[in-house]
Amino acid sequence: MANLTSLLLFLTTLLSLLLPSLSYKLTIPLFPFPKPPSTDLLQSLNFHAAASLSRAHHIKNPEKSPHPSPSTQVPLFPHSYGGYSVSLRFGTPPQTTSFIMDTGSSLVWFPCTKHYTCSQCQFRNIDPTKIPTFIPKLSSSSKIVGCKNPKCAWIFGPEVESQCPNCNDPTRQNCSQACPPYILQYGSGITAGSLLSESLNFPEKIVPDFLVGCSFFSIRQPAGIAGFGRGTESLPSQMGLSKFSYCLVSHKFDDTPQSSDLVLYTGGSSADDPRRNDTKAQRSSYTPFQKNPGPPNSAFREYYYVLLRKIIVGKKHVNIPYKFLVPGADSNGGTIVDSGSTFTFMEKPVFEAVAQEFESQMANYTRAKDLETKTGLRPCFYISKEEKLDFPELVFQFKGGAKMELPLTNYFSLVSSSGVACLTIVTDGVIGPERNGGPAIILGNYQQQNFFVEYDLERDRFGFRKQNCK
């Protein structure tokens, strides 16, 4: 933690020094890149388990930086590092940039300027020296956000002008000082930069004066992030969306060119998606979003909370203490939906109850405890010599009766080289230290594969149904 604090202080100082000359020239320090990770599936699962835990730790302990068509479709692509990306066009003329679609954060930011540097970004199929960047000087609509711009306060809060000494002088009517540089943490990585006002371009719609982050430096962030959270600065909030939906194609962790659609609804959401046949078998199930009872300025307010009533393994309801199912006044507990997490996270008591039920119902299978240590997943079972496979079903039941009945491939992954299947749910203490607080359950994108998922913002509800996303 001390190293991270020192790094954040260093970046804040660095960006503050760079800020006066942002429109002219930027100089960013270079960092060495590590060796690329192994492409072995076992190590890949370990990577995603660790990344999911890092993501969960950040979500549970968030830190705000101190310092005309009714719908639009854009393709979503899965990636080897566990996220799903979408291409968006900013600027005049437009420049296309790839973003990770993230419902667990709110700011939209892209790698920015030709001096952009990303440390520890040498993931498979990613060359950190060739990450495409947005170039502000090539856009006539690009403007630095000033300290007195109300959008600056979206990120830094209403007291932001205290960080802008040139704006505190009452004799100065027009303050041209830029909004302070931001530093944001995303689980295992961070990004830092300055805020811009830009045009977001779609074929049918242009969103002017869109607040976007121009990041000069990142750690372990191989692409920009499109924040779809509940914050004022998120893409849904700035576009005034009534709802958005997606259908995630299956993870192969191989950067497949296969994609599915992210749909943005700018009109009313009273009517269902007209492109589907509205038979009873195809209707979505809905559960209301929940409010986090914490302080109004809490970062937990950005998350999409849903009320998970029951977890069912096989035909048995797992006994989960109430305090983990509903967020309390201290903001701890409850369930959120997060497209930016790969594997679903459960706090230790919840996970143990679920894992032990799987272990009990699969007692006739041989445990692969050696691979549990290597993958960071548990339980794992040897299945290559089994004549018949019989896995208990996993069902999440939400308020209102909505049941998410997961396909087997959404909660067990096969380590093909060893004939072992592992439960793709993570918890603290398996990889890394235990950290309590914040959401008790984080529903990741691995468990959302091949579901049509809908965030109905107008009706304040979460919908889903099984669908082949291909």
**338 flagged as catalytic:** yes
Q: Which of 102, 127, 456, 460 is catalytic?
A: 102
Tell me how far apart the alpha carbons of residues 470 and 467 are, in angstroms, rounded to a whole number: 9
- Alpha helix locations (H) across 89-234? 150-156
DSSP 79: -
CA dihedral 348, 353, 357, 358 (to 10 degrees): -20
Tell me how far apart the alpha carbons of residues 218 and 208 are, in angstroms, rounded to a whole number: 26
Helix then strand count (H, E) for the chain reads 7, 28
Q: Which of 278, 338, 370, 456 is catalytic?
A: 338
Tell me how far apart the alpha carbons of residues 9 and 181 are, in angstroms, rounded to a whole number: 12
Sign of the CA dihedral 210, 211, 214, 220? negative
Instruction: Name the token pair of 360.
Output: 């009990």
Of the candidates 275, 257, 303, the one whose C-alpha atom is nearest the C-alpha of residue 60 is 303
**209 flagged as catalytic:** no
- The secondary structure of the chain in percent helix, strand, coil, rounded to multiples of 5, reads 20, 30, 45
25 C-beta neighbours (distance < 10 Å), count: 9
Q: Which residue numbers are catalytic? A: 102, 338
